[in-house]
Amino acid sequence: MPSQPASTDGNIYWSSRLAFILAATGSAVGLGNIWGFPYKAGENGGGAFVLIYLACVLAIGLPIMMSEILIGRHTRKNPIQAMERMAVQSGHSPRWRWVGLMGVGAGFLILSFYSVIGGWALAYVFRALSGDFAEITPTVANEVFNSLVGDPERSMAWHTLFMVAVVLVVSKGVNSGLERIIKWLMPTLFVILLVLVGIASVMGDYGAAVNYLFNPDFSKLNSEVVVAAMGQAFFSLSLGLGAIMMYGAYLPDHASVAKTSLAIVGADTAVALISGLAIFPLVFAIPEMTTAEGPSLVFKVLPQIFGKIEGGGFVSVMFFLLLVIAAITSAVSLLEPVVSWLVTQKGMARDRASHVAGFAIWFLGLGTVLSFSSWSDERLTIAPRIGDRIFVLVDGKNFFEIVEFLTFSLMLPLGGVMIAYFVGFIASMKATRRQLADSPRAVYSTWLFMVRNVAPILGVIILLNMLGILDSIFLWLGLS
Ligand code: TRP
């Protein structure tokens, strides 16, 4: 009989270690892997980005994944209460709950644009159904995408549908239904992606793609690439806002935190890399395409792969449907912390909390919808002058880019740094050791070393860097 841990609001528990892995993988694998990774890699020069990304996944992502799971399992509470309780237990301030609260805010912001992109994927299910991708040319693929996002009403309608689906799942309570779906979703998605890689390698320039992704050009490396890769690692692994902590609260006692984390991190990274290998062969074979296409990259390239194959209509419907479902299982883990906060701290009923939060997030999402049409030229620059130096904090970003920047580059890494610091220095070692008791001692000491050093140091560097402070320190030291 699997253990049945106490739950915070009686709605989630995983029946086994596998069930937890499925749920956490369902959270991790989503638009971030298939839409985000290829476009970020393309915008940031390929190999150098990928290398830093992989380094961040291993050196920061894996230890923080373990940390979130162990905090969750130790306290069996939602992230806010979990941070508070574990801090108080070890004689520290209850204010650590603010890490959980920031996570609620980050989930809120991320979901607002996530739902818009999820809406695009949903729209593509119907495009695929109507056979629009057969024999599609690059020009037509461009038109299909631009007419969708350039029309705020259409884009908003799909965003609305996506959000309604997410609210429905969360308002009913995340439960074994999700578990069952993810069990077949992940393997099928994996297989389809591999098939796409196969086709892309025949149709496109596979060698150029591999070279681009895995042969780093270090001249492309700068602080922006590092920040982008680090943000992408957090985002793709669902780390930094307590989503995995929340699921960890329901992990059975006998499951290994280290092995479980490794499985999730491995699966998530594999899906991202495979998506890159499916997209880039074509990017290099089509003269009209550039790697720095931005958020539209995947939506313009994939239909062209489907258009070229026998039975492409069916495969494309399947693919976009699976992508939508993968996006929903991720979105659920973004909405759940917000809802759980309203339920446990604000005393709202789950149904009502889901509707209220869902509506507010939907509304904020309209800003992202408009960022791709009427507001695309509304840009914000913040560059205060301090002394004789100008600090460029925001360099001409539109609404979507601001929300993305706030979450990817600021809130998630900051959350990650706080969590790492917390388990490394605040939580009692007895408690953390007990959570990792089934792993060899070396695993524990390596983990402790990582959370105490690498993660916070990198976190601080990247934060300073982002604020332009690092550049100024270098300048001040006469180093640049
Ligand atoms: N990881 C998901 C993706 O790649 C998105 C996501 C879900 C997420 N939950 C999260 C990102 C929590 C950061 C934090 O699509």
Query: Over 70: is that where the pLDDT of 319 sits?
Result: yes
Task: Determine which residue's CA is closest to atom 8 belonging to ligand 1.
Answer: 238
Instruction: Specify the pLDDT at position 3.
Output: 37
Q: How much is the pLDDT for 184?
A: 84
Q: Please check whether residue 11 lies inside any domain of the structure.
A: no
- Residue 14 pLDDT: 64
Q: 2-11, 210-219, 281-290, 318-327: which range is least confident on average? A: 2-11
Q: What is the CA radius of gyration of the chain?
A: 22
| Ligand 1 atom closest to Cα of residue 236 | 4
Q: Tell me the mean pLDDT in the region 119-144.
A: 92
pLDDT at 2: 36
Band of pLDDT at residue 10, cut at 50, 70 and 90: very low
Domain count, the chain: 1
In the predicted model, what is the mean pLDDT of residues 436-443?
95
Amino acid letter, 150: G
Residue 329 maps to a domain:
yes
pLDDT the model gives residue 470: 63
Confidence of residue 441 (pLDDT cuts 50, 70, 90): very high
Q: Is residue 436 part of a domain?
A: yes
99 has a pLDDT exceeding 50: yes
Report whether pLDDT(480) > 80.
no
Q: Using CA atoms, how far apart are residues 298 and 280, in angstroms rounded to an integer?
A: 10
Q: What separation in Å is there between the alpha carbon of 219 and the centre of ligand 1?
A: 30
Residue 251 domain flag: yes
Pocket probe for ligand 1: among 236, 239, 271, the residue whose CB has the most ligand atoms within 8 Å is 236
Q: Report residue 395 as tokens.
A: 């360099």
Q: Whose CA is nearest to atom 12 of ligand 1?
A: 238
Ligand 1 center–CA 387 separation, angstroms = 39
| Cα 236 to ligand 1 centroid, rounded to whole Å | 6
**Closest CA to ligand 1's atom 9:** 238
**How far, in Å, from the CA of 35 to the mean position of ligand 1?**
12
More confident residue, 479 or 253: 253
* Residue at 245 is within a domain: yes
pLDDT for res 6: 41
CATH assignment at residue 69: 1.10.4160
CB atoms within 10 A of CB 207: 11
**Residue 16 pLDDT:** 76
The mean pLDDT of 337-350, rounded to a whole number, is: 93
Distance 28 CA to ligand 1 centre (A): 5
Pick the atom of ligand 1 nearest to 407's CA: 13
CA of 139 to the centre of ligand 1 (A): 32
Given this model, what pLDDT does residue 165 score?
94
Q: What is the distance, to the nearest Å, from the Cα of residue 199 to the centroid of all Cα atoms in its chain?
A: 27
Could you tell me if residue 173 is inside a domain? yes
> What mean pLDDT comes out for the span 100-110?
97
Closest CA to 245 of 76, 128, 101: 76
Averaged pLDDT for residues 82-94? 96
Instruction: Report pLDDT for 403.
Output: 95
- Structural domain of residue 459, as residue ranges? 17-477
Pocket test for ligand 1, best of 25, 27, 336, 411 (most atoms within 8 A of CB): 27
Q: What pLDDT is attached to residue 378? A: 85
* pLDDT tens readout for residues 283-298: 999 888 899 999 999 9
| 375-390 pLDDT, tens digit each | 888 888 887 787 777 7
Which ligand 1 atom sits closest to the C-alpha of 234? 13
Q: pLDDT for 172-226, tens place per residue? A: 875 666 777 888 888 888 899 998 899 889 989 999 999 999 999 988 887 788 8
Burial of 379 (0-12, 13-18, 19+ CB in 10 A): middle
- Residue 5 counted as domain residue: no
**Angle, in degrees to the nearest 10, between helices 257-285 and 47-56:** 170
Q: Which of 418, 323, 369, 350 is nearest to 113 (CA)?
A: 369
- pLDDT of residue 279 exceeding 90, the answer is yes
**Residue 206 within any structural domain of the chain:** yes
- Which residue's structure tokens are 């560059």? 383
Q: Is the pLDDT of residue 11 over 50?
A: no
Average pLDDT over residues 247-275: 94
State residue 187's pLDDT score. Answer: 87
* Residues 90 and 114: beta-carbon distance below 8 Å: no
Residue-level pLDDT at 382:
80
The mean predicted confidence, pLDDT, of the chain is 89
Name every protein residue with a CB atom under 6 angstroms from any ligand 1 atom.
Answer: 27-28, 30-33, 110, 235-236, 238, 240-241, 243, 330, 333-334, 412
pLDDT of amino acid 294: 93
Q: What is the pLDDT of residue 466?
A: 67
Number of neighbouring beta carbons within 10 Å of residue 388? 5
Q: Answer yes or no: are the C-beta atoms of 303 and 289 closer than 8 Å.
A: no
Banded model confidence at residue 474, pLDDT cuts 50, 70, 90? low
Confidence category of residue 231, pLDDT binned at 50, 70, 90: very high
pLDDT confidence of residue 180: 76
Helix (DSSP H) and strand (DSSP E) numbers for the chain:
23, 4
> Per-residue pLDDT tens for 399-428?
999 999 899 988 999 899 999 999 999 999
CA distance between the termini of the chain: 62
